[in-house]
Amino acid sequence: MTIGIVGLGYVGLPLALAFAEAGHDVVGVDVDQGRVAEVNRGASHVEDVPSERLRGIEDRLVATTSYGELEGVEAILVCVPTPLNANREPELGPLVTAAAALAKVLARDQLVVLESTTYPGTTRERLAPILEESGLNAGRDFHLAYSPERVDPGRTDHTIRTTPKVVGGLTDECADRAEALYRTICDEIVRVSTPEVAELSKLLENIFRSVNIALVNELAVLCDRMDIDVWEVVGAAATKPYGFMRFDPGPGMGGHCLPVDPFYLSWRAREYDFVPEFIELAGKINQAMPYVCVERVLRALNDARKAARGSRVVLLGVAYKPGVGDTRESPALKIIELLRHHGAEVVYHDPHVRELPRFGLRTSDLDEALAGADLAVIVTAHPDLDVEQVVREAPAVLDLRGVTRGIQAPSVVRL
């Protein structure tokens, strides 16, 4: 088959690679001309897609900024961003723009699958009407389905091939077409009755994590007041072989899913006169964690008889998770903003993130970052971080990830 993919980011490019390596021809469309040029010369901007593998399928993958190149493809997968706006409400602008462009080139009997995370009803109520401006009817003249992405950047134990793929079609025939497509790159297809079920299943996956992270984050705040080691509490509870799943506290949630998905469902729920208070409370707790962590920074400086203003604070890790360079919604960004507001001099060390243009900062090597530091804050513990060196060379360490457990040093405090 020839497959079109709209959006060549963290979701779209790995999909393009998977389909091309399975023998399909792939046309990737992206609005970013620089990204298109990179893909066409075999240079990957996504850490999960090595440039070597991208160059290995250069004869089967073509990137372009033109939707017109999708006219002859059999299937089109839409993998565009679905962020939140300034009011923490769904921002479907990229999806609407992509759908309007697709409507101009949509052909009879094509399959369109939305992979972007969104609220229940988006595929049927927002995407289908725009595509039908082509004069074709969804479910009759062309096929439409929803299949949520399950990308976890930096993860190697679960791949597109081995991760079950949820698929919900507008009609049974739509689902048949989508299932047949994904079976060429996925070992297991989980077929559900409607796009709405598939859309909500994706939100549930991430809201489950959001709620449990919020629970342990709130427990961490309480344990601080009670002078109890939250990491020891969680570790002890995790020894139960049934009925408990471990979640660790931290500075907040980041990435393209966890900080966003709960608000998509909350927004949709209000249309049904329902307020998902449990979900919204979890979101509030997690959003507040950078403020909690900055308060801990101020206390750590105070214990060293230093004011925040003028102190050199080193953040170790600014990506949202270990092992990747993705800073989307990273709590480190809010922490930097708040520390600067307090007058601190902020530097950072992160081998995966070369620069933070928003703050005019570039990463420093570890030795340089620790030199002259008043406080080192472990925000994201990348696998190659030399924790022992940090504890040995920094005059004070605030560990927000619990990676210093087992190291006994009076200079270390933990969340």
Catalytic residues: 257
d(CA 413, CA 175): 53
Q: Where are the alpha helices (DSSP H) in 271-413?
A: 277-303, 331-341, 366-370, 387-393
d(CA 293, CA 313): 13
Query: What's the full length of the chain, in residues?
Result: 415
d(CA 2, CA 20): 9
CA 73 from chain centre, in angstroms, equals 29
Q: Where are the alpha helices (DSSP H) in 90-133?
A: 93-103, 128-131
Residue 107 has a CB neighbour count (10 Å cut-off) of 15
Token pair 């939305």 in the structure block, residue: 114
d(CA 47, CA 352): 10
For residue 111, give the amino acid letter: L
d(CA 157, CA 342): 41
Residue 55, CA atoms < 13 Å, CB-side half-sphere: 6
